[in-house]
């Protein structure tokens, strides 16, 4: 029995080592996805993260050729009150359907222009500059919906074992990141390989 247990432990460790050498980890347990008919991709990010900022152009290019059976979800990670303020800004943009207008510029404002964009007034000014009605922004910013999304976001990273960003979850089963994949380009390569693998399994 002991020999058998050691054998299975060896197999498990070998499988884990092989997975990590390929640029990803297997989640245990696997997490449920929102749509069983799609391959779910979740990108955990923070606007204040320079690595997330440099990954963004690569993700934008990937989205242009994203397979039809893939559902892509941006997920702000929340590890502090500052991260929470930036996450709230993203959720407001999402609720107002202006992510395409503000997402890249918000990254630019934080990373290059060194703007704080943390208070309601600062964010209101930013959103108004992107064509959003100020009253509508403030109503959404202070809504129950946004508060609920922020509370949910705080629990998301621990659920997937996320300790840093950027990180990508593939269909609730696999996680890749910069440290695992060694480069942003390889993160996308690993993600595509796992999407293909999950598509074949379906």
d(CA 77, CA 155): 9
| Inside any domain, residue 120 | yes
Write out residues in the chain with pLDDT < 70, as ranges: 1-21
d(CA 87, CA 155): 13
Tokens standing for 199?
């598509």
In the block, tokens 């992510």 appear at 99
Q: What pLDDT is attached to residue 201?
A: 85
* Domain span holding position 167: 25-201
d(CA 95, CA 102): 12
| Inside any domain, residue 75 | yes
Q: What pLDDT is attached to residue 20?
A: 56
| Inside any domain, residue 112 | yes
| Inside any domain, residue 97 | yes
How many separate domains does the chain show? 1
pTM: 0.88
Q: What pLDDT is attached to residue 28?
A: 92
Q: What pLDDT is attached to residue 202?
A: 73
Q: pLDDT tens digits for 21-55?
A: 689 999 999 999 999 899 999 999 999 999 999 99
| Inside any domain, residue 154 | yes
Q: What pLDDT is attached to residue 9?
A: 42
Pairing mode, strands 39-45 and 70-76: parallel
| Inside any domain, residue 17 | no
Q: What pLDDT is attached to residue 6?
A: 41
d(CA 64, CA 48): 25
| Inside any domain, residue 18 | no
Dihedral of CA atoms 63, 66, 69, 70 in degrees, nearest 10, equals -40
Residue 138: count other Cβ atoms within 10 Å of its Cβ. 16
Cβ atoms of 56 and 65 within 8 Å: the answer is no
Q: What is the separation of C-alpha 96 from the centre of its chain, rounded to a whole number of angstroms?
A: 19
* 198: CB partners within 8 A, 6+ apart: 39, 170, 171, 173
| Inside any domain, residue 52 | yes
CATH of the domain at 194: 3.40.30.10
């Amino acid at each position: 029995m002991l020999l058998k247990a050691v054998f299975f432990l060896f197999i498990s460790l070998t499988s884990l080592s092989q997975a990590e050498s390929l640029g990803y980890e297997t989640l245990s347990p696997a997490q449920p996805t929102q749509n069983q008919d799609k391959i779910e991709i979740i990108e955990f990010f923070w606007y204040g993260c320079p690595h997330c900022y440099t990954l963004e152009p690569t993700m934008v290019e990937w989205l242009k050729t994203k397979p039809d059976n893939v559902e892509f979800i941006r997920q702000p990670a929340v590890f502090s009150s500052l991260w929470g303020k930036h996450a709230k800004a993203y959720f407001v943009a999402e609720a107002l359907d202006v992510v395409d207008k503000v997402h890249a510029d918000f990254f630019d404002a934080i990373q290059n222009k060194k703007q704080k964009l943390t208070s309601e007034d600062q964010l209101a000014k930013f959103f108004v500059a992107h064509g959003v009605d100020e009253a509508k922004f403030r109503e959404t910013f202070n809504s129950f919906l946004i508060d609920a999304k922020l509370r949910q976001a705080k629990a998301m990273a621990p659920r997937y074992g996320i300790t840093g960003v950027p990180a990508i979850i593939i269909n609730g089963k696999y996680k890749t990141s910069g440290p695992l994949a060694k480069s942003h380009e390889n993160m996308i390569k690993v993600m595509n390989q796992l999407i293909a693998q999950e598509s074949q399994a379906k």
